[in-house]
Amino acid sequence: MNIYIIIPAHNEDDFIGKTLESLAKQTLLPKKLIVVNDNSTDQTEAIVDDFSKTHPWISQVISKSSDQHLPGSKIINAFYKGFETLDDNYDVICKFDADLIFPDNYLETLANHFSKNSKLGMASGFCYIEKDNDWILENLTNKDHIRGALKAYKKECFEQIGRLKPSMGWDTVDELLAKYHGWEILTDETLHVKHLKPTGQSYNKASKHLQGEAMYKMRYGFWITLISALKLASKKESFRLFTDYMSGYFKAKSSKNEFLVSIDEGKFIRDLRWKGIFKKLF
């Protein structure tokens, strides 16, 4: 199975070496790995170059963008800088973060899952963060959701969902659209991935408003947005985040931002979300 990996990276010299080392130790190696060095000013470029000298399947793309932190659009635009350099001979395409340490059997296990199930469109393991000298689950979302840090797509699914959306919420709408098209999603609890830089630690207020904007653009509607914002804010133990999310939703609604999904896709997404909510309640 041909696995291609794209890793957007901005000033990741503290972590990128550990990520590449863990991928170089895989029992099933990727066919190609592209690091998109997005406007880094540290030693990221040199570290990646060193790996590419001894691992010919690793290469680097230098991209120049702004220093502004824009979750969603910035990282997906960087992803496409790498994707444009690849050929079409992949079976699975991965978008990984630059601050992860993968278990040695990670890619082989994913390949086995994809091989055994023709309807499996996306798969991943789980992110763990270090706390009090122990590695614990980074519990930010439901366990059936694949984190944006470690996405892996079967080629046919990736194409059918329209690839990745350069917007906050891309790592949620991709799964919803996959389900809309009849694909299955799998998260393997046996695959523990060490996440060296916890999610959201560099988010600013404008970035947090984008989360609410994404809920509008996915056609959640007011009530699902309200429930989702409360859930996310409670997981992060911050009421301020709830107000940020809702402010972002109402700002996007008043500005009539473009949606990420069609009317039919939006109805499917709302129905799916309500089913999930009622299942938890009853």
What are the domain boundaries of the chain?
3-195, 205-281
Query: Cβ of 234: how many Cβ atoms within 10 Å?
Result: 12
What is the structure's pLDDT at 203? 53
pTM (two decimals): 0.92
Q: How far is CA 226 from CA 61, 209, 215, 221, in A?
A: 40, 14, 10, 9
Q: What is the pLDDT of residues 139-159, one digit of tens each?
A: 877 788 999 999 999 999 999
Q: Which fold has domain 3-195?
A: Spore Coat Polysaccharide Biosynthesis Protein SpsA; Chain A (3.90.550)
Find out whether 63 and 38 touch, Cβ atoms under 8 Å. Answer: yes
What is the structure's pLDDT at 282? 74
Find out whether 226 and 234 touch, Cβ atoms under 8 Å. Answer: no
SS3 of the chain: helix, strand, coil, percent, to 5: 45, 20, 35
- Give the mean model confidence (pLDDT) for residues 227-236: 88
DSSP 266-280: HHHHHHHHHHHHHHH
What is the structure's pLDDT at 71? 61
* Residue 101 φ/ψ, nearest 5 degrees: -120, 115
Q: Which helix (H) or strand (E) holds 6?
A: strand 3-9
